[in-house]
Chains A and B, each alone.
Chain A
């Protein structure tokens, strides 16, 4: 019997696109002051990882949900690799996970949970690349253990691939990558899309009340909520 034969391979082109603009990303609120200093130093240069607000919330909530029982959580980060002016950066748009075999010091996907994981991959709605993985160290701090480094070396050895570690108890988060076999820390930003901004493309303007149907002066400090709602329904509002 002949073993499987590789006929031909095809690489995927890295898409040329600008990263999220500076006004639409910020450092993570769990980043420690010293790491933030490093981030600030790097700000003038290039940030190589942007994580969407949606993905960040999912990872943080996942880690917090199992913090009390001190159980690690884990998942895959989906997004893509892009280049801009010769620099390559990655974007995490979403994350997926499934049932886990987890303790306070170890985590992996449950063997019976893969089909649920595949369903989540199909549901993500875009042509994803798995740009890295996340897991938590509840109460242990953020670093790559020897197991994590083995995983990074065997699965995510590319410079662009990231291992994100969260400690929901210490409220700490750090990102790591490998370069020439060495573990390095990566600065990253949390970005938000315009559609996540509730005031996208709308100016919030002061409303002027034209008349007061009850003949009563507005309460001190302005109109109460019920009054405002009433007047919004019944009176014209000048913008």
Chain B
């Protein structure tokens, strides 16, 4: 049974609704959302509330639930 979630882009406040399978990974969710906003997926992290979601975790491992709102957070590097 697919899940529906919402991902918020923290840099613009825009949102995207996505449909996920239980085996989809966090990395794939980041790629899907970042791709939609034409961003570099490698420069972001995804959070669910206060939890950092790890790239190789699946939807089940990361305990992502139907109707959850995730947030794409920039991970900058300064030099």
Which residues of A are interface residues toward B (Cβ below 8 A)? 1-12, 72, 74, 76, 80, 105-109, 114-115, 117-119, 121-122, 127-131, 133, 135, 145-148, 150-151, 154-156, 158, 161
Q: Give CA–CA (A127, B12) in the complex, Å.
A: 11
Which residues of B are interface residues toward A (Cβ below 8 A)? 4, 10-21, 23-24, 28-29, 32-33, 36, 39-40, 42-45, 47, 49-52, 73-79
Partner of B15, one of A2, A10, A151: A10
Partner of A72, one of B12, B15, B78: B78
Given contacts A7-B4, A114-B47, contact A151 B76 (CB under 8 A): yes
Please name the residue on chain A nearest to B51 by beta carbon: A115
Inter-subunit contact A129/B13 (CB<8 Å): yes
A118 shortest CB reach to chain B, Å: 5
Q: Give CA–CA (A12, B11) in the complex, Å.
A: 11
Inter-subunit contact B12/A11 (CB<8 Å): yes
Inter-subunit contact A9/B14 (CB<8 Å): yes
Partner of B10, one of A122, A130, A145: A130
Q: Give CA–CA (A154, B47) in the complex, Å.
A: 19
Partner of A115, one of B21, B23, B36, B50: B50
Given contacts A2-B21, A76-B74, contact A9 B16 (CB under 8 A): yes
Set of chain A residues within 8 Å of B45, measured between Cβ atoms:
114
Given contacts A114-B47, A154-B40, contact A108 B76 (CB under 8 A): yes
